[in-house]
Amino acid sequence: MADYTKEITKRRTFAIISHPDAGKTTLTEKFLLYGGAINLAGSVKGKATSRHAVSDWMEIEKERGISVTSSVLQFNYDGYCINILDTPGHQDFSEDTYRTLMAADSAVMVIDASKGVEAQTRKLFKVCAMRHIPIFTFINKLDRDANDTFDLLDDIEKELGIPTCPINWPIGSGKKFRGVYDRDTRKVLTFSDTMKGTKEGIGEEISVDEPRLDEVLDAEQKEQLLEEIELLDGASAEFDQDLVNEGKLSPVFFGSALTNFGVETFLEHFLKMTSSPLPRTADIGVIDPVKEEFSAFVFKIQANMNKNHRDRIAFMRICSGKFDASREVFHVQGNKKMRLSQPQQMMASDRHVVEEAYAGDIIGVFDPGIFAIGDTVCTPGKKYAYEGIPTFAPEHFARVRLMDSMKRKQFVKGVNQIAQEGAIQIFQEFMGGMEEIIVGVVGVLQFDVLKYRLENEYNVEIRLESLPYEHIRWIANKESVDIEKLTGTSDMKKVKDMRGNPLLLFVNAWSVGMTLDRNEGLELAEFSRN
Ligand code: G4P
């Protein structure tokens, strides 16, 4: 087997997670800037009124005509080949957002310095934490008035339960923002206004011991900085690469993506602190990305909304070896040798067909309806399967009413197919059958997708009645629990999923706790692995 070590070890595949508006798109854009994929002038952002309606990256693509895609973006920087995975937010937030995190080896968490940890960050963080992947924090918008730095770190530690290790430290914020202090080099990187990133910054590096620093900081700021450095050195967690690798310590950086400050420093540190594609666990054991031949798993399936083109695209994360479009692969779940059809990498202003790709890369292949989320493809002769992708807890629920009972058959078929693609989850009354169906989704837009697709593809009209449930739990120890005898709160509902697994729906978090209290030995889970 040929040696792909060099290609694979230079790859870094990560996702950027944030609450909408924290600056994910802006930071991504600045990364591209350093990768040379866009030029400085092109990075000025116009007010686009419709930009929240579509995937952010699609918008960048339209606005700037650069190499981005709605799923993955690849560029080179300083000898590295970087794959950034999009985690759609806003209205596009869905189970796919979570699934995408299954394909990443690490995550960058962007936090707005005046807001701290927000709802969507918390949700996405949980999924990253479940996989124990390294999480790096970029605290953004220091050019605006920010919360106290110690409070921000406290917030992360308390809200997310992960210790932090500041790699640099901000000096002031808003109008008084002067730069960041690098704890390792003991140098201050001074902030210079780049007019929203439209002109080159003229920041310089000044050692904290140099008198020249007094020209940048007033006496009060300098004193505060020195005090904070002392406090930090005594109190904060020390940098420990092993803990970072295990997702048990988050290195923290400060900056301002919009003004392009602190981004390059962040990128440089981040690339050194993250690893090349990580080994993944399959049913035969751990698969080494370099030593093993080609293998990949499907983490997302995108159905075409246009009924004239019912094709789907299956997105795969390559886990080991090299993908060669001219060679056959083996689809493990389908037990079939095949050639991946029209493998694409969504680079350049358009998708383009790829001939080869390596572990760490993402490819999208034409799917005639044979792939399911979590499926494995590998080199013919091998038959291992990667660990499945968990089912994530939906957050919105609705009862589905069929308008014309004569269409029952198409309805059941349609709902089942759409559920199999992973766009929605369906539940039934615990003791009932398909006569009453409850649909659960991670993002509300999926309700519209369901209605639209049932009407257009299956010719079935439905009405959705929204239900007040916000929390769902799988019963982790279903074998040892008598579901019928379970006593919960009055708002609790017992349902089952398509595989017959029992679940509980709750209106609020308090009811979850109450139900656990009332039923000794009951174990509830937020994800389902089967
Ligand atoms: P998102 O992808 O996480 O949703 O956030 P996005 O990058 O779109 O940024 C949200 C808003 O915050 C944008 O302003 C953006 O310009 C602004 N922003 C991002 N980073 C910084 C920063 O470091 N400092 C400041 N002051 N603002 C920042 P907008 O008004 O919503 O859009 P636009 O008119 O700038 O396009």
- The ipTM is 0.97
Distance CA 38, CA 31 (A): 9
CATH number of the 280-378 domain: 2.40.30.10
Name the residue of 25, 26, 62, 92 whose CB sits within 8 Å of the most ligand 1 atoms, as the mutation to test its pocket: 26
Annotated domain spans of the chain: 6-10+12-69+77-273, 280-378, 390-529
pLDDT at 93: 79
Ligand 1 atom closest to the Cα of residue 28 is 7
pLDDT at 339: 86
| Ligand 1 neighbour 26 (Cβ under 6 A) | yes
| Ligand 1 neighbour 25 (Cβ under 6 A) | yes
Ligand 1 atom closest to the Cα of residue 19 is 3
pLDDT at 349: 39
Domain 390-529, CATH class in plain words: alpha beta
pLDDT at 311: 65
- CA 22 to centroid of ligand 1, rounded, Å: 7
Half-sphere exposure of 390 (CA within 13 A, CB side): 18
pLDDT at 2: 65
pLDDT at 330: 96
Q: Are 55 and 348 in contact (CB under 8 A)?
A: no
What's the fold here for domain 6-10+12-69+77-273? Rossmann fold (3.40.50)
Integer CA distances (angstroms), 286 to 3, 280, 445, in order:
19, 6, 37
With DSSP H G I counted as helix, E B as strand and the rest as coil, what are the percentages for the chain, rounded to 5?
30, 30, 45
| Ligand 1 neighbour 19 (Cβ under 6 A) | no
Q: Which parts of the chain have pLDDT scores under 50?
A: 39-69, 347-350
Q: First vs last Cα of the chain: how many Å apart?
A: 35
> What residue numbers does the annotated binding site for GTP cover?
18-25, 86-90, 140-143
| Ligand 1 neighbour 197 (Cβ under 6 A) | no
